[in-house]
Structure 1
Amino acid sequence: MDLEARLRTHFEASIAAKQATLAQSLPALTAAAKLLAQQLREGHKVLSCGNGGSAGDAQHFAAELTGRFERERPGLPGIALTVDSSALTAIANDYSYEQIFSKQVQALGRAGDVLLAISTSGNSPNVLRAIEAAHAQQMDVIALTGRDGGRIAAALTPGDVELRSVSDVTARIQEVHILFLHCLCDAIDEQLFPQAGESGS
């Protein structure tokens, strides 16, 4: 396969994963968007976590909340649990890596807050522990997963929402996850600030 043809296959595979996910996940995505808007409207906050590329996505989402997405509006309370190197290394050193997010959820999370938990495999132990901690704090959970949803899908309760990318390839899962997040950002803005003027960044 020549290089151009190889690159084309990446685009085609990404498009196929998004189309398959759309067919399966639109109701769940709508439910997640409504949940986020409701809890933010009531003064609650969103905590986000993930590993590697998913950590980047968690930070991206928190930044879009506190700054803006595509329209001018007041900042919204979003905290990425992946950015405090002192907390992460202290918790990993003093307890275990599996607790780097759950300890922060225990410290920062309150009833009514939302945990955005991201794992392409659905099996990240530290993300799973964060979900358990969120449930103990009476928080809602929105989980972004891939493949078969893994242990995280099995750990969710009826009030939680799973957004699963229909793919077994990590890169494709991540591409769908960022689309999920951008859809959620737009839906939050539309629900909370429907009259706000558009302004690209």
Structure 2
Amino acid sequence: MDLAAFYRDEFAEHAAVAEATRAALAEPFARLVGLAVASIEAGGKLIFFGNGGSAADAQHLATELSVRYIANRKAIPALALTTDSSALTAIGNDLGFDLLFARQVEALCRKEDMVIGITTSGRSPNVIKGLQAAQDIGAVAAALTGKDGGDLTGLADPLLIVPSNTTARIQEMHITLGQMLCGALEKKLGLA
């Protein structure tokens, strides 16, 4: 293995995907920020969820909002549905893994809220069902994904599709977009 070439190629691919993401997602990102602001100003909260690395991103972003991102400021109401091990295991055992997020959305989400599902493929059944449950409540159902958007096209709105087929690059853009959301919310809400 040529480690120097690997190192160079990984950064080159990251930079190319970052540039393609920048070029493709300005409008859906602006819509995501606008709808998130409207949700919070209406007394709602942001609810994040995903599987694996996307679950970690959901927890990371909810924490940036509820604790702090850049500024020491008033908390922004946000939570991740991947942190309650009792609920996760009970839902998985009693109702099935596909309902992992839908059941929690049903219990915790209100029409003033925004849910943000995160899935690199756009094909995670539990993320899809969680977004559908949010729509049934009348909440905004948004998503971050990659590849061709999977089954989220026509379901999530806004839908931010990272223009890549490489899971690692998609995840890198998801956390970048998520942190940009945190920074934009601090500014738009007058908290930074």
1:190 equivalent among 152, 166, 187: 187
Unaligned runs of 5+ in 2: none
CA distance, structure 2, for counterparts of residue 84 and residue 78 of structure 1: 14
Match of 1:105, SS?
Answer: helix
**Aligned-pair CA distance for 1:72:** 1.8
1:1-201 mapped onto 2 (5 Å cutoff) = 2-156=2-156, 160-193=157-190, 196=192
**Aligned-pair CA distance for 1:154:** 3.4
Alignment RMSD: 1.0
Alignment deviations for residues 83-132 of structure 1 (CA, whole Å, 9 cap, x no partner): 10100000010010000100000000001200010000000000000011
Match of 1:116, SS?
Answer: strand
Q: Are the aligned partners of 1:29 and 1:163 in contact in 2 as well (CA < 8 Å)?
A: yes
Match of 2:25, SS?
Answer: helix
Map of 1:199 onto structure 2? none
CA distance, structure 2, for counterparts of residue 20 and residue 34 of structure 1: 22
Percentage of matched positions with identical amino acids: 43
- Structure 1 stretches of 4+ with a deviation exceeding 6 A read none
TM-score, with length taken from structure 1: 0.93
Number of residues of Structure 1 aligned to a counterpart in Structure 2: 192
CA distance, structure 2, for counterparts of residue 142 and residue 155 of structure 1: 8
Unaligned runs of 5+ in 1: 197-201
Q: Are the aligned partners of 1:73 and 1:193 in contact in 2 as well (CA < 8 Å)?
A: no
**Aligned-pair CA distance for 1:155:** 2.2
CA distance, structure 2, for counterparts of residue 164 and residue 184 of structure 1: 15
TM-score, with length taken from structure 2: 0.97
Match of 1:75, SS?
Answer: coil
